[in-house]
Amino acid sequence: EVQLVESGGGLVQPGGSLRLSCAASGFTFSDYWMSWVRQAPGRGLEWLANIKQDGSERYSVDSVKGRFTISRDNAKSSLYLQMNSLRAEDTAVYYCTPQDAGYSYGHPYWGQGTLVTVSS
Amino acid sequence: QSALTQPASVSGSPGQSITISCTGTSSDVGGYDYVSWYQQHPGTAPKLIIYAVTHRPSGVPDRFSASKSGNTATLTISGLQAEDEADYYCNSRTNSGTWVFGGGTKLTVL
């Protein structure tokens, strides 16, 4: 059974930093592109970033470029999101999700998400 | 990297059919067959219901279908049921290597 467990969320002041982690199991982590997607309270889904199987390619949206860094550790089957210079608008539930080539890089698996609240 | 355009809300009665559009550009929806759709009930994670424009994962009822024409993808739900009431999101690859979601559509079953 695929499991994705996000952690590291919490309350942080504007301008602060957080590092989110995602522990993956039930599939061969190193075979998948991995993504972070977030959802602000009462708002829609926002794709943030992804990283290739070997970490050689990374893509991110402009709103987080230069502030958020995606990384992975295949030996630990773990995905990370280093978030710096946090803003109130970064408040959201953050999901870790693999992109499955068998589903044309759609996201068939999701974790429960971790809530990040940016507030003074 | 603007969000794909979806109607904010749609509604229908049980048994009826509804459609949800997802409009992008030739740089995303129109340029790739990497369009997927997600269903999200309140307080839960999204669920993949359509991938590669028209394909349904196993376990998704065939009441759910989808298509694409030009820069617009469309999700159709036929034989509407109460449990279909949820938020629906489209998603597409872009020509910059990123992916983008639609703004989401709230489906109300009357």
pLDDT tens-digit profile of B23-80? Answer: 999 999 999 999 999 999 999 999 999 999 999 999 999 999 999 999 999 999 999 9
Cβ of A61 within 8 Å of Cβ of B36? The answer is no
CB B3 within 8 A of CB A44: yes
Give yes or no for A50 touching B (CB within 8 A). yes
From residue B35, alpha-carbon distances to A5, A64, A81 in Å are: 26, 23, 25
The pLDDT, as a whole number, for residue A28 is: 96
Strand partners of residue A62: none
**Residue type at B49 in one-letter notation:** I
What is the rounded distance in angstroms from the CA atom of residue A93 to the CA atom of residue A72?
20
- Residues 21-40 in A contacting B (C-alpha not used; CB under 8 Å): 35, 37
Cβ-based neighbour number of residue A56 at 10 Å: 7
The pLDDT, as a whole number, for residue A103 is: 87
Query: Could you tell me the pLDDT band of residue B90, with boundaries at 50, 70 and 90?
Result: very high
Q: Residue range B16-22: average pLDDT?
A: 98
Examine the pLDDT at A104 and tell me if it is beyond 90. Answer: no
Of B106, B107, B76, B73, nearest to B90 by C-alpha is B73
Element (H, E) at B101: strand B99-101
Facing B45 at nearest CB: one of A57, A104, A110: A110
What is the rounded distance in angstroms from the CA atom of residue B100 to the CA atom of residue B42?
21
The pLDDT, as a whole number, for residue A22 is: 98
The pLDDT, as a whole number, for residue A101 is: 86
Q: Tell me the shortest Cα–Cα distance from B5 to chain A, in angstroms.
A: 12
- Per residue in A83-97, pLDDT (tens digit) is 999 999 999 999 999
- Per residue in A23-40, pLDDT (tens digit) is 999 999 999 999 999 999
Classified as helix, coil or strand, A77 is: coil
The pLDDT, as a whole number, for residue A63 is: 92
Q: Residue range B2-7: average pLDDT?
A: 94
Examine the pLDDT at B1 and tell me if it is beyond 80. Answer: no
**How big is chain B by its Cα radius of gyration, in Å?**
13
Examine the pLDDT at B2 and tell me if it is beyond 80. Answer: yes
The phi-psi region of residue B59 (left if phi > 0; otherwise alpha if psi is between -120 and 50; otherwise beta) is left
CB A114 within 8 A of CB A80: no
